[in-house]
Amino acid sequence: MPINPFVKMTSTVIKHLLGPTACKMYPVEKPVFFANTRGHIAIETNKCILCTLCAKKCPTYAIQVDKPGKAWKIERTKCIMCLACVACCPKKCLTSENQYSAPVTVKVVETFNVEPPAAPKAPETCPGKE
Ligand code: SF4
Ligand code: SF4
Protein backbone atom coordinates (compact mmCIF):
# COMPACT_ATOMS: atom_id res chain seq x y z
CA MET A 1 0.00 0.00 0.00
CA PRO A 2 1.48 3.45 -0.92
CA ILE A 3 2.37 5.78 1.97
CA ASN A 4 0.07 8.74 2.40
CA PRO A 5 1.99 11.85 1.19
CA PHE A 6 0.84 13.82 4.23
CA VAL A 7 2.22 11.18 6.61
CA LYS A 8 5.47 11.09 4.65
CA MET A 9 5.81 14.88 4.75
CA THR A 10 5.00 15.02 8.48
CA SER A 11 7.60 12.38 9.30
CA THR A 12 10.20 14.28 7.23
CA VAL A 13 9.39 17.54 9.04
CA ILE A 14 9.61 15.89 12.48
CA LYS A 15 12.87 14.17 11.55
CA HIS A 16 14.44 17.49 10.53
CA LEU A 17 13.03 19.35 13.53
CA LEU A 18 14.48 16.88 16.02
CA GLY A 19 17.62 15.86 14.15
CA PRO A 20 20.94 17.70 13.79
CA THR A 21 20.72 20.99 11.87
CA ALA A 22 22.71 21.65 8.70
CA CYS A 23 22.76 25.42 9.25
CA LYS A 24 24.87 27.22 11.85
CA MET A 25 23.33 29.91 14.07
CA TYR A 26 25.81 32.54 12.84
CA PRO A 27 26.94 34.88 14.41
CA VAL A 28 26.06 33.19 17.74
CA GLU A 29 27.82 30.03 16.60
CA LYS A 30 31.20 30.85 15.04
CA PRO A 31 32.20 29.03 11.84
CA VAL A 32 35.01 26.51 11.88
CA PHE A 33 37.75 27.34 9.39
CA PHE A 34 39.67 24.50 7.79
CA ALA A 35 43.42 24.67 7.23
CA ASN A 36 42.94 25.30 3.50
CA THR A 37 39.90 27.61 3.73
CA ARG A 38 40.46 30.50 1.32
CA GLY A 39 39.88 33.31 3.79
CA HIS A 40 41.85 36.42 2.89
CA ILE A 41 45.16 37.52 1.39
CA ALA A 42 47.86 38.65 3.80
CA ILE A 43 51.14 40.38 3.02
CA GLU A 44 54.51 40.41 4.76
CA THR A 45 55.36 44.03 4.08
CA ASN A 46 59.03 43.66 5.01
CA LYS A 47 59.59 41.24 2.09
CA CYS A 48 57.66 43.05 -0.68
CA ILE A 49 59.79 44.75 -3.35
CA LEU A 50 56.85 46.59 -4.99
CA CYS A 51 57.46 44.78 -8.29
CA THR A 52 53.70 45.09 -9.22
CA LEU A 53 53.49 41.50 -10.54
CA CYS A 54 50.60 40.64 -8.20
CA ALA A 55 48.59 43.65 -9.38
CA LYS A 56 49.21 42.73 -13.03
CA LYS A 57 48.12 39.10 -12.48
CA CYS A 58 45.01 39.87 -10.41
CA PRO A 59 41.98 39.13 -12.65
CA THR A 60 39.67 41.45 -10.69
CA TYR A 61 42.03 44.41 -10.25
CA ALA A 62 41.72 44.05 -6.47
CA ILE A 63 45.40 44.91 -5.90
CA GLN A 64 47.10 48.25 -6.46
CA VAL A 65 50.82 48.82 -5.99
CA ASP A 66 51.88 52.41 -5.36
CA LYS A 67 55.63 52.39 -5.99
CA PRO A 68 56.34 56.09 -5.31
CA GLY A 69 54.12 56.03 -2.22
CA LYS A 70 55.65 52.69 -1.09
CA ALA A 71 52.23 51.15 -0.50
CA TRP A 72 50.49 47.89 -1.34
CA LYS A 73 46.68 48.10 -1.45
CA ILE A 74 43.86 45.59 -1.70
CA GLU A 75 40.11 46.04 -2.13
CA ARG A 76 38.87 42.86 -0.48
CA THR A 77 35.33 43.06 -1.86
CA LYS A 78 36.83 42.61 -5.35
CA CYS A 79 39.05 39.66 -4.38
CA ILE A 80 37.76 36.24 -5.48
CA MET A 81 40.58 34.34 -3.70
CA CYS A 82 41.89 32.80 -6.93
CA LEU A 83 45.41 32.95 -5.40
CA ALA A 84 47.04 34.08 -8.68
CA CYS A 85 48.86 36.80 -6.71
CA VAL A 86 50.16 34.28 -4.16
CA ALA A 87 51.46 32.03 -6.95
CA CYS A 88 53.24 34.78 -8.89
CA CYS A 89 54.89 36.77 -6.07
CA PRO A 90 58.66 36.38 -6.52
CA LYS A 91 59.31 37.14 -2.84
CA LYS A 92 56.62 34.78 -1.50
CA CYS A 93 55.30 37.56 0.70
CA LEU A 94 51.62 36.93 -0.06
CA THR A 95 49.74 34.15 1.71
CA SER A 96 46.21 32.84 1.85
CA GLU A 97 44.99 33.03 5.44
CA ASN A 98 42.12 30.74 6.44
CA GLN A 99 40.11 33.39 8.35
CA TYR A 100 37.58 35.51 6.46
CA SER A 101 38.07 39.26 6.61
CA ALA A 102 35.49 41.25 8.56
CA PRO A 103 32.28 42.07 6.65
CA VAL A 104 31.97 45.64 5.41
CA THR A 105 29.07 47.81 4.27
CA VAL A 106 31.19 50.10 2.08
CA LYS A 107 34.03 49.38 -0.33
CA VAL A 108 37.30 49.77 1.53
CA VAL A 109 40.81 49.81 0.09
CA GLU A 110 43.20 48.48 2.72
CA THR A 111 46.62 50.09 2.51
CA PHE A 112 49.84 48.53 3.78
CA ASN A 113 52.97 50.62 3.98
CA VAL A 114 55.91 48.75 2.47
CA GLU A 115 59.57 49.27 3.22
CA PRO A 116 61.38 47.30 0.50
CA PRO A 117 64.46 45.44 1.74
CA ALA A 118 67.63 47.48 1.23
CA ALA A 119 69.72 46.51 -1.80
CA PRO A 120 72.95 44.70 -0.84
CA LYS A 121 75.84 47.11 -0.45
CA ALA A 122 78.60 46.97 -3.06
CA PRO A 123 81.94 45.98 -1.54
CA GLU A 124 84.16 48.97 -0.86
CA THR A 125 87.18 47.27 -2.44
CA CYS A 126 87.38 44.77 -5.26
CA PRO A 127 87.88 41.22 -3.97
CA GLY A 128 91.51 40.22 -4.45
CA LYS A 129 92.72 43.86 -4.61
CA GLU A 130 94.23 45.78 -1.70
S1 SF4 B 1 53.49 41.42 -3.07
FE2 SF4 B 1 54.99 40.25 -4.23
S3 SF4 B 1 54.31 40.39 -6.36
FE4 SF4 B 1 53.24 41.99 -5.22
S5 SF4 B 1 54.50 43.83 -5.45
FE6 SF4 B 1 55.16 42.81 -3.56
S7 SF4 B 1 56.87 41.49 -4.17
FE8 SF4 B 1 55.78 42.06 -6.04
S1 SF4 C 1 43.52 36.15 -4.76
FE2 SF4 C 1 43.10 36.52 -6.92
S3 SF4 C 1 41.47 38.05 -6.93
FE4 SF4 C 1 42.34 38.06 -4.86
S5 SF4 C 1 43.89 39.66 -4.91
FE6 SF4 C 1 44.93 37.74 -5.41
S7 SF4 C 1 44.90 37.62 -7.65
FE8 SF4 C 1 43.39 39.18 -7.04
Where in the chain are the domains? 32-113
CATH 3.40.50.20 corresponds to the domain 32-113: no
Integer Cα distance of 39 and 33 in angstroms: 8
Q: Which residues contact 87 (CB under 8 A, 6 or more apart)?
A: 57
Q: Rounded CA gap, 2 and 19, in Å?
A: 25
Cβ within 8 Å of residue 41, ≥6 positions away: 74, 76, 79, 81, 85, 86, 94, 95, 96, 97
pLDDT at 128 exceeding the cut of 70? no
Give the closest ligand to the alpha carbon of residue 54: 1
CA-based diameter of the chain, in Å?
105
CA distance 77 to 60: 10
pLDDT, residue 76, reads 96
pLDDT for 115 equals 87
pLDDT at 130 over 60: no
Is 129's pLDDT higher than 60? no
pLDDT band of residue 127 (cuts 50, 70, 90) is low
pLDDT digits (tens, 9 = 90+) for 50-102: 999 999 999 999 999 999 999 999 999 999 999 999 999 999 999 999 999 88
Q: Give the residue, 125 or 66, on which the prediction is more confident.
A: 66
Is ligand 1 within 6 A of the CB of residue 41? Answer: no
Residue of 37, 48, 60 with the most ligand 2 atoms within 8 Å of its CB, for mutation: 60
Which pLDDT belongs to residue 84? 98
Rounded distance from Cα 26 to ligand 2 centre (Å)? 26
* CA distance between the termini of the chain: 105
Query: Who wins on pLDDT, 58 or 104?
Result: 58
The pTM of the full predicted model, rounded to 2 decimals, is: 0.77
- The CB density around residue 109, as the number of other CB atoms within 10 Å, is 14
Nearest CA to ligand 1 atom 7: 48
Lining ligand 2 with CB less than 6 A are: 41, 57-60, 62-63, 74, 79-85
- For ligand 2, atom 7, the nearest C-alpha belongs to 58
